[in-house]
Amino acid sequence: MLLEHKVAVIYGAGGPIGGAVARASAREGARVFLAGRTRAKLDKVADEIRAQGGRADTAEVDALDEQAVTSFVDMVVEQAGFIDISFNLISYGDVQRPLMDLSVAHFLQPITNAMRTHFLTGKAAARHMIGRGSGVILAYGGSGPHALPGSGGFKIALDALEGLRRQWACELGQHGIRVVTIKTGGIPEGIDENFPARDEITARIEQATLLKRAATLADVGNVAAFVASDQARSMTASTVNISCGYLMDY
């Protein structure tokens, strides 16, 4: 198994993408600690993992709250002894409209949330990883050079995340800590089945890819497990593009 004897912390684990990463990590042998704001959603994922023989613990955590994040990570280390993997998949807020239609507060919301949560969770994990001389910090939602009309501050938040990832990688590399972002271009499976435009969005994503299909939740989980494993030990300061060609690297 790729992650045997590893300890993984996953923020936003109650959502479709976070849940997929949690399940794949547990399947590959990791003990997973699932964090999020809704206990019922976390417990559902944890129960599925335990039913398959995996190890999962849950905790209600606001990943935008410094004290909450610090206390949670300290608790994980107290229980498990260490942290190998920190994966942040929380939502930054959904204010995607043309820039001219946004207030300053709405424009800054996803940018501020993305930077705050990734700084807090990255710092909390690194504080414990440095002493061990190893660790992996993963982010989700890497950006590309193109821009889309009507995305408000969300696309800019993803661009900022790329800058933070590079800075963390630069400063933590000497301690053996890797920092990687996974980008997809959109996961139709993650859209609520009752969302009115679900079919339209799915078709648009699939047609925009070079492979004429979109990445799945299983794809995200499998790739995340590989990137977090020692088989990817030389990978850092980089993005992993699983967008089926929707996002082109330059």
| Sheet bearing 7-11, strands edge to edge | 55-60, 31-36, 7-11, 85-88, 135-140, 177-183, 238-241
62 occurs within a structural domain:
yes
Which token pair is 92?
Answer: 């930054």
| pTM over 0.75, yes/no | yes
Range of the domain at 50: 7-241
203 occurs within a structural domain:
yes
Lowest mean per-residue pLDDT among 67-76, 122-131, 196-205: 196-205
**When comparing pLDDT for 246 and 94, which is higher?**
246
The CATH code of the domain that includes 145 is: 3.40.50.720
1 occurs within a structural domain:
no
33 occurs within a structural domain:
yes
Question: Does 196 have pLDDT greater than 90?
Answer: no
Domain total of the chain: 1
How does pLDDT run across 211-231, given as a tens digit for each residue? 999 999 999 999 999 999 999
173 occurs within a structural domain:
yes
Section 146-164 average pLDDT: 84
175 occurs within a structural domain:
yes
E strands in the chain: 7-11, 31-36, 55-60, 85-88, 135-140, 177-183, 238-241
pLDDT for residue 142:
64
185 occurs within a structural domain:
yes
How does pLDDT run across 65-79, given as a tens digit for each residue? 999 999 999 999 999
52 occurs within a structural domain:
yes
